[in-house]
Amino acid sequence: MTQPDTSRADPRAGAVSALRRAIQSLRPHLETSEDQADLALIEAAAARLSQPRAAATLGIADFDPTLLAHLLQLTGPSVAPELLSRLTEDLTATQETLASGVREADWKLLREGSHVLISLSGSVGARSLQAMSENLNAIAHRQDTAALAGLMRPLDGELSALIRLIRATRAPTEIAE
């Protein structure tokens, strides 16, 4: 499954992709171990640059991009695009479930949605969203309407930011060594 070219939407990702292609093009022309070591440093820097951006630019208060990167590396380049697609679908469906739960004052829907969101947000490193989801679960169990009203706007904001981040994330094209 090929990832669409999002370099226009995300110039940084396009530039990092071009850097990775340049690294691959240069590799066969390096003969000394010193040159190969230098290229390895460049490769490591490119890998760091390709990580999701810092939380301040994402709208997620506490985000650990290494968890998402590790998850993508574990799945490998053949499965990672499907994982990103499923994460987007599941997060979007959960956002809709929570919105319905709020609209209909359906505490069961809110509990169900919070359980899914606790798991998904935790697995990709969205720690603040995971904490809010745990809080939502407790609120839903208490059926606390006032607390729910104060939580949903920031939770939905972080959830929307996470969905955007997952959509913008490119799957790795090779297995990390």
Which pLDDT tens digit goes with each residue over 118-132?
999 999 999 999 999
User: In terms of domains, do 97 and 161 share one?
Assistant: yes
What pLDDT band is residue 153 in, cutting at 50, 70 and 90?
very high
Helix ranges (DSSP H) in 50-144: 55-58, 65-75, 80-103, 107-124, 127-142
Query: CA torsion sign, 120 to 123 to 129 to 132?
Result: positive
% of the chain exceeding 90 in pLDDT: 62
User: In terms of domains, do 37 and 61 share one?
Assistant: no
Tokens of 159: 């959830």
Tokens of 98: 């929570």
pLDDT at 115: 97
Full residue range of the structural domain in which residue 138 is found = 55-168
User: In terms of domains, do 45 and 84 share one?
Assistant: no
What pLDDT band is residue 176 in, cutting at 50, 70 and 90?
low
User: In terms of domains, do 159 and 77 share one?
Assistant: yes
Asked if residue 9 is part of any domain, the answer here is yes
Full DSSP string of 143-157: T-HHHHHHHHHHHHH
Tokens of 13: 């990702």
Cα-based angle 110, 102, 62 (whole degrees, multiple of 5): 65
Asked if residue 177 is part of any domain, the answer here is no
Full DSSP string of 17-67: HHHHHHHHHHGGG--SHHHHHHHHHHHHHHHHHTSPPPHHHHT-SSB-HHH
Average pLDDT over residues 156-175: 89
pLDDT at 1: 38
Which pLDDT tens digit goes with each residue over 107-116?
999 999 999 9
User: In terms of domains, do 9 and 59 share one?
Assistant: no
Which DSSP state fits 169? Answer: P
User: In terms of domains, do 107 and 156 share one?
Assistant: yes
User: In terms of domains, do 68 and 25 share one?
Assistant: no
User: In terms of domains, do 45 and 63 share one?
Assistant: no
Of 7-11, 58-62, 72-76, 171-175, the one with minimum mean pLDDT is 7-11
The Cα diameter of the chain in Å comes to: 67
Which DSSP state fits 174? Answer: S
User: In terms of domains, do 123 and 157 share one?
Assistant: yes
Asked if residue 173 is part of any domain, the answer here is no
Residue 12 confidence (pLDDT) above 80: no
User: In terms of domains, do 70 and 152 share one?
Assistant: yes
User: In terms of domains, do 14 and 101 share one?
Assistant: no
Coil vs helix vs strand at 171: coil
User: In terms of domains, do 103 and 23 share one?
Assistant: no
Beta bridge partners of 63: 126
Number of domains in the chain: 2
Which pLDDT tens digit goes with each residue over 31-82?
888 888 888 888 877 887 777 655 444 589 899 999 999 999 999 989 999 9
Q: Cα–Cα distance between 49 and 34 in angstroms, integer?
A: 23
CATH code of the domain containing 145: 1.20.120.160
